[in-house]
Chain A
Amino acid sequence: MSISIAEHDYIRLSEANMEKNKIDDKDLNFKATELRLGLPGSESPERESVTVKKRGFADTINGGSGKWVFAGNGGLEVDLVQNGGNKNLGCVKAESDVLVLPKGGLLEKKGLVSVKSDGQTSVPATKQQVVGWPPIRSFRKNTMAVSQTKNEENNDPKMGSGCLYVKVSMDGAPYLRKVDLKIYSCYLDLSSALEKMFSCFTIGQYGSHGAPTREGLSESRLMDLLHGSEYVLTYEDKDGDWMLVGDVPWDMFIGSCKRMRIMKSSDAIGLGKILNTPQNLDFSTTNQEVKSPLNLAPRAMEKCRNRN
C-alpha cells in the first residue's frame, strides 16, 4: 500500500502584511510571477526547478536525501512542537493561510515561493537547495553524514549510540515527520508524542464541522478523535511487513522498525495476524480505562502500564 503525500508547504507570516501584498498579486499573471530559484538575472524560463551547478553538500549526503525547504515547514512544525496542536489549527486546509512576503519580496525573487495569480502562495513541490546554507563547514557535514550512515547500519538499540530516526506518515497529512525512537522508553511515550505531532492534521480534517479556532477545540475533543477507532499506528519491520505497533516488546520494536504509518482503521483490516480478533478493531471499548492514543495493541499497553 502506498501512501501518496502531496507536499504542500504553507508559510505563515504576519497578518499585518497580508493586505499589502494581496493588491500587488492580483495584477500579475502566472507566468510573470512564477519565479524559480535562480540568481538575479538568470534566464532559463523552461526550467521547472533549477539545478545548481555546484552541488551543495546536501547532495552528497545520504544519496541526496538532504534537501532544503524554505520558510514552509519551519513555522508549522514549530507550532506543533510547542502547542500540542491546540493553538495551531487548520494547517492543512486553512484558506486564511496566505503567504506574506517581506517588502520587496526577497523570498519571491529568490524563487523560494511562487506567487499565483489568486494571491495564494506555496513553496514549489520540489524542494529546492541553497548552496552553502545553513552555514556549516564541509568537515562537519561529511562527518555527520558518516555518523548517520553508521547509525543506520548498526541499528542495535543495545549500543545506545546516536539516534534512530524513522519516518512517520499519516494518511491525509501533507507531509512526513521523523522521530528519534531512542528518546522514548515505551509505547505510551511514543504514541503521546506522535499524537502531538499529528493532532494538527486530525483537527484539520474536522475543521468544517466545528470551525475550530485557536482556542476552540478543547483537549477532550482531541482525545475523543484519537481514542476512537479512527486511526491505528502501524510500522514496517525489517522484513518489509506491516505490523500493528505494540505487539512486540519495546526493544524488539525499535530494533526492527523501519518506518511508521498512522493509517485509518478501515485500511488496517487484515493487517498482521493480531488483527484477527474483532476486539482489536474496536479499541474504544477495550481501552477506555487506559488512555491509549493511536490505538496500540492492548498487550503492549499492559506492559507499559506495569513498567510505569
Chain B
Amino acid sequence: MMLLQPSMDPNRKRAKSVDRVDSVDSGSESFESTRKCGFPDEVLERVLSLIDSHKDRSSVSLVCKDWYNAERWSRRDVFIGNCYSVSPEIVAARFPRVRSVTLKGKPRFSDFNLVPEDWGADVHPWLSVFSTAYPFLEELRLKRMAVTDESLEFLATNFHGFKALSLLSCDGFSTDGLKAIATHCKNLTELDIQENGIDDLGGHWLSCFPESLTSLEVLNFASLNSEVSFDALEKLVSRCKSLRVLKVNRNVSLDQLQKLLLHCPLLMELGTGTFMQELISGPVTEFKTMFSNCKNLVTLSGLWDATPLYLPVIYPACASLTFLNLSYATLRSDELANLLAHCKSLRRLWLLDTVGDKGLEAVGSCCPLLEELRVFPADPFDQEIFLGVTESGFVSVSHGCPKLRYVLYFCRQMTNAAVATIARNCPDFTHFRLCIMNPGQPDYLTKEPMDDAFGSVVKTCTKLQRLAISGLLTDRTFEYIGKYAKNLETLSVAFAGSSDLGMESVLKGCMKLRKLEIRDCPFGNAALLSGLTKYESMRSLWMSACNVTMNGCRALAKEKPRLNVEVMRDEEGSDDSQAHKVYVYRSVAGPRRDAPPFVLTL
C-alpha cells in the first residue's frame, strides 16, 4: 500500500501529489499508469472513516484539500465543545453525512448557579438545521444545553431513524418531552437522562414506550424523582433483550429490582433504586440470589439508603465490578471495608465522605487497581460537622493505589506535605481536583498557603491534563503551574492568587491550556489582556467576581475580533465599570444573535 507522506503542504494541488507518490514507490508504475491522481477518494474515505479521534481527524483535514474533503465526507460523529463557537449551518455545510452530534452549551460554572437562567445555549436552532441537513441523525448528546419540550417533540417527530438521546445537566424541559421521545422514536436504543433541571410532572412518560419497542439498550432515569409504573417498566425491560444499561430511580424498591433483574441477564451497568426495605417483610436471604444471574455486571450505582443489612446482597456481583458508585449511600467506614473486601477489580470508585479516613484506608488496601476516586461531601454546607475525610484518608489511598489517575476530593483540611506524598505515590495523575471546602484555608498544620501542595502535583505529575485548586493560595501556585504543567488543558480556580501575576503565569506557561475558569480572584485587566494571543487557541475563559473592568474587556474585544467577549451584567444593578462575569471564547460564527438582555457582547 502506497503511503502519502504526512507532512504535505495543505495547499498543494492534486497534480503535485502525483509526483510525490511517484517518488515514494518506484515499483508502482503500472498502478500509476491507470490513475491520474493520488488515492481514489473511496479508498481514502474508507481509511479515514476508521479514525475516531477528533484530534486526529482535525489533523487529517489539514493535510491537503483531498484529505480535507475525504475527511469531511467520512465524518459520522461531530463533537462541538462550545455551541457558540460555530453555527449549525457551518457544521452542516462542512459535514454532510453526520449521524451523531455531541453539543455542549453553557459554561461549566452554570452547574453551580453562577449563570443566570435564559442565558442561552438553546438546542432548537441546531435541530431545525439538522432536520434538513441530517434527516438520518441517529444520536444526540447534549450537555448544559437549554432544551424545551417542543424541541424534544421536534426531535422525536423529525428524525425517523433516531436512536440515542443523552441529556446531561440540561434544563428547560419536562417529563412531557420525554413522553414525546418514548412515543415516537421507534428505533430508540438509548435514553440517558442525567442530572437535568427537569420539570418532573410524573412518571407516565415511561408508559409511553409502545409494545413494539424492543430495541432499547440503555435506559437511565436515575435522577428523575417521580415514580414510574412498575408494570410498564417490567414489561419494557423484559422485551428489550439487548438491554445492557439500566439505571432506575429511587422509587424502585428492592423487590421490584429483583424482578427486573430476572429479565436482563446481559446487563452490564446497573443503577439500583432504594436499597433498603422500610418494613422488613422477610429476611434478607430472599434477596441473596438477586445478583447471582448478573454475570456481566461491571458498573453498579444508585444504592440509595443502603444499610449494612442489605448491602451484602451485592457481594456476589462485586468481584467483576470495575466501577462502583456509592456516592448516594451514606456508608460508614466498617460498612465500606466489608464491601470493598469483595471488590478486587475496581477501577473507579465514587464515595461519600461519611466513610471517613478509615474507609479510605480500606480503599487503599482492597483496591490496588484503582484508577479513579471521587469523594463527595455528605454535608457540604454545615460547618459544624466534625467528620468527613481529611488528608490522611487521601494519603492512605495513594499508598495502596499507585495507578490513580483521576481524583476528585472534597475535604475540610489538607496539608502541603500530604499532597506531596500523594503526588509521589501516584505520579500518573491526569485529573487532580482538590476541593478544600473552606475558601482560602491554609495548611492546617503549618498555617502556610497550599502553594507547595499544587507545586508538587504539577512537578511530579507530568501527564496532568486537568487541575482544580483550592485553599489559601498565592501567586506562587500559579508560577508553579505555568512552569511545570505543560500538558494542562483545564484549570479551575476559586478564591486564590494575590495579583495579576498569578493568571499571567498560567497564560504564559501552559501551552496546552484550553479551558480556564476563574472565580473570586484578584486578577484584573492586566491579567486578562496578557492572554491576548492565547485565547484563540483556547476553547473558553470564564472570569467572575474578579477585578476585571468593562474597559479591559472592551480592549480585549477590540484587539481580537474573532473572540466573543461577553459580559454578564449583575442583577443588582451595580457600577458599570466592573465586569462581574466575563466569558470569552473563540468563534467562527461571530457574536451571538440570541444573547439575552443581560449578556453584553463587546
Contacts and interface: CB of A to CB of B under 8 A. Distances in A.
A204 B40 CA distance: 85
Lowest 6 A-B CB distances belong to which pairs?
A66-B381, A132-B112, A41-B578, A74-B438, A78-B413, A78-B444
Contact of B440 (A54, A70, A165): A70
A161 B580 contact: no
A234 B146 CA distance: 53
A217 interface: no
A40 B381 contact: no
Contacts of B473: 102
Contacts of B109: 132
Interface in B413-472: 413, 435-442, 444-449, 472
Contacts of A71: 438-441, 472
A238 interface: no
Contacts of A143: 304, 328
A167 interface: yes
Contacts of B499: 103-104
Contacts of A148: 379
B169 to A, nearest CB: 7
A189 interface: no
Interface in B544-576: 545-547, 570-572, 574-575
B301 to A, nearest CB: 13
Contact of B384 (A104, A140, A175): A175
A116 interface: no
Contacts of B33: none
Given A13-B442, A110-B520, A160-B308, A180 B387 contact: yes
Contacts of B571: 53-54
B381 A106 contact: no
A22 interface: no
Contacts, number: 216
Interface of A: 12-15, 39-43, 53-54, 56-58, 61, 65-75, 77-79, 81-82, 102-104, 106-107, 109-110, 112, 127, 130-141, 143-144, 147-148, 150-151, 154, 159-163, 165, 167, 175-180, 182-183, 197
Given A39-B578, A74-B412, A135-B435, 13 more contacts: A53-B572, A70-B440, A74-B436, A81-B390, A82-B444, A102-B440, A103-B498, A133-B494, A134-B410, A135-B111, A161-B305, A162-B354, A182-B332
B472 A102 contact: yes
A133 B498 CA distance: 20
B377 interface: yes
Contacts of B223: 139
A77 B412 contact: yes
Interface string B287-319: 000000000000000001111110000000000
A127 B382 CA distance: 11
A143 B379 CA distance: 11
B577 interface: yes
27 contacts: A39-B570, A39-B574, A40-B545, A40-B546, A40-B578, A53-B572, A65-B382, A71-B440, A71-B441, A74-B383, A74-B413, A74-B441, A77-B386, A77-B413, A79-B444, A106-B496, A106-B521, A132-B109, A132-B112, A136-B112, A136-B376, A139-B223, A141-B380, A159-B276, A163-B330, A165-B379, A178-B386
Contact of A134 (B197, B437, B472): B437
Contacts of B382: 65-66, 178
A144 B376 CA distance: 11
Interface in B360-380: 376-380
B34 interface: no
B113 A56 contact: yes
B495 interface: yes
A162 B305 contact: yes
Contacts of A57: 113, 381
B442 A14 contact: yes
B577 A41 contact: yes
A270 B521 CA distance: 55
Nearest to A14: B447
Contacts of B262: none
A43 B575 contact: yes
A209 to B, nearest CB: 26
A178 B383 CA distance: 9
Sorting the interface of chain B by its residue count into under 10, 10 to 19, 20 to 34 or 35 or more gives 35 or more
A80 B520 CA distance: 29
Contacts of B305: 147, 150, 161-162
B402 interface: no
Nearest to A132: B112
A178 B545 contact: no
Given A39-B545, A39-B580, A74-B441, A177 B381 contact: no
Nearest to B445: A82
Contacts of B519: 132
B591 interface: no
A178 B413 CA distance: 17
Given A14-B448, A69-B383, A163-B354, A107 B390 contact: no
A136 B577 contact: no
A61 B381 contact: yes
Contacts of A79: 444
B105 interface: no
Contacts of A159: 276, 307, 309
Contacts of B304: 143, 147
B498 A137 contact: no
B255 interface: no
B25 interface: no
A162 B440 contact: no
Interface in B331-389: 332, 354, 356, 376-387
Of the listed residues B109, B380, B497, B580, the one surrounded by the most CB atoms of chain A closer than 10 A to its CB is B380
Contact of B446 (A14, A53, A133, A154): A14
Nearest to B331: A162
Contacts of A112: 439-440
Most buried by A among B113, B114, B435, B571: B113
A159 B197 CA distance: 32
B474 interface: yes
A107 B308 CA distance: 43
B486 to A, nearest CB: 26
A56 B381 CA distance: 10
A81 B386 contact: yes
Contacts of A13: 442, 447, 472
Contacts of B497: 104, 106
A151 B546 CA distance: 40
Given A69-B383, A134-B435, A40 B444 contact: no
B307 A160 contact: yes
Contacts of B410: 134, 136
